[in-house]
Amino acid sequence: MTEKEVFIKKMKTRTKKFAVDVIQFCDSLKNNKASSVITYQLVKSATSTGANYRAACKARSKKEFFSKICIVVEEVDESEYWLEVLKDADLSNKKDELERLLIEAIELNKIMSKAKSSTYNSLSH
């Protein structure tokens, strides 16, 4: 397996784990209307991150990859946003897990944003 193939496999696993961890974490939130709305939004964006990353990996061209990776960046950034809202509104009973997920969202955001930027630069030349 090439270094690139290893990286792609690792990121597919990592983005799926992020989605599953978010789903499980959401069951621990304080039970109120705000948590319900945020859970819906967060689960959608976290699961979409991994699903769209997988789609990006199947892209038939650099332009198609760029289009898909842009969606991944949007979705992981939205996940980061909702995790921040949960933290700021004190809606979690598991503060350590919330912090871990927030750090993971930030890291995934940086990785995917770098992929987006690198692809954009290669398309521009």
* pLDDT tens, residue by residue, 3-25: 999 999 999 999 999 999 999 99
How high is the pLDDT of residue 97?
Answer: 98
The alpha carbon dihedral of 79, 80, 83, 85 has a sign of negative
> How many whole angstroms separate alpha carbon 78 and alpha carbon 63?
23
Segments of the chain scoring below 70 in pLDDT:
125
* Res 124: pLDDT: 79
CATH number of the domain that residue 29 is part of: 1.20.1440.60
Count the domains in the chain. 1
**48 touches 18 (CB < 8 A):** no
Report in angstroms the alpha-carbon separations of 20 from 6, 15, 26, 29. 21, 9, 10, 15
Supply the pTM of this predicted model: 0.94
Domain range enclosing 102 = 3-124
